[in-house]
Amino acid sequence: MLAIIGGTGLTKLPGLSITHRQVIRTPYGEPSGPISFGDLDGHPVAFLARHGHGHTIPPHLVNYRANIWALHAQKVSHVVSVATVGGIHAELSPGRMAVPNQIMDYTHGRETTFADYGEKPVTHLDFTWPYCEEMRQRCITALRQAREGFMDGGVYACVQGPRLETKAEIDRLAKDGADMVGMTGMPEAYLARELGLCYAAVTVAVNWAAGRGDSAAGISPEVIEATLDDVMGRLRTVLKNLACMSYGSDTSSTGGGVCAV
């Protein structure tokens, strides 16, 4: 089954016909909220709002371990993370989407692993390519079917938040090779890797990063809100296309991995 993790602007999934909600208890505490199960245009999906139903959980306080463990416990096999970002690369103007293929972690103090050190030997899991390429290609296909212009690949810089960045910090991230900046990509991506979930992200640039474009003098919350309002309908089409692809035992999917448009 496909799970969708919704970020800022996607605390609810428009068009999702909910059959039931499941409150999951985990060894790592409470997830951000119940998992909603249902169908999106006739195709089964699970949905979890990363920041909670009312968008009340800031990025640095999200219980990433509980969220990923809960999805895994419900037999989810594939996960798409929907995340808003600030555009650093010239191609990532507000409203444009991307499917990153690399990530850099600038966070601190977050619980980053399921490994229980002290009882078991230390393990070093390969993270050369942090996103599942199979899932990345599904996202790319869904975007193309929606006739969206998007960036294939790119480096996601994950910062601590919840504050936005300074111009100097964005300049540093650009020098490090970052194409976009967000606050939730890590440790979510690595935790999914630890549990063997096929995980990828679709990011939406909702503003130019600090010091760039129309954010040169500052970042406007009004611009972010307007961009979110504009992009949510387009994003729903992308997710609908993604949902109709085949995911293991899903019987209502097309089976071929490509959906009719």
Calpha distance 256→52 (Å, rounded): 34
Q: Quick one: average pLDDT of 56-68?
A: 96
What residues contact 149, with CB distance under 8 A and at least 6 apart? Answer: 96, 97
Is 8:233 a contact under the CB 8 Å cutoff? Answer: no
- The count of domains in the chain is 1
Q: Write out pLDDT tens, residues 155-197.
A: 999 999 999 999 999 999 999 999 999 999 999 999 999 999 9
Q: Write out pLDDT tens, residues 71-109.
A: 999 989 999 999 999 999 999 999 999 999 999 999 999
pTM of the entire predicted model: 0.90
Is 160 domain-assigned? yes
Is 76 domain-assigned? yes
Q: SS3 sequence, 92-132?
A: CCCCCEEECCEEEECCCCCCCCCCCECCECCCCCCCCCCCC
Alpha helices in 35-90 (DSSP H): 64-73
**Domain carrying residue 178:** 2-243
Residue 92 has which token pair? 């990532």
Calpha distance 172→113 (Å, rounded): 27
Is 211 domain-assigned? yes
Q: Write out pLDDT tens, residues 121-146.
A: 777 899 999 999 999 999 999 999 99
Is 234 domain-assigned? yes
Task: Give residue 258's pLDDT.
Answer: 47
Is 138 domain-assigned? yes
What residues contact 16, with CB distance under 8 A and at least 6 apart? Answer: 36, 38, 39, 40, 45, 47
Is 256 domain-assigned? no
For 167, other C-beta atoms within 10 Å of its C-beta total: 15
Is 252 domain-assigned? no
Between 12-16, 68-72, 156-160, the lowest mean confidence (pLDDT) is in 12-16
Question: What average pLDDT does the chain have?
Answer: 89
Domain CATH number, residue 32: 3.40.50.1580
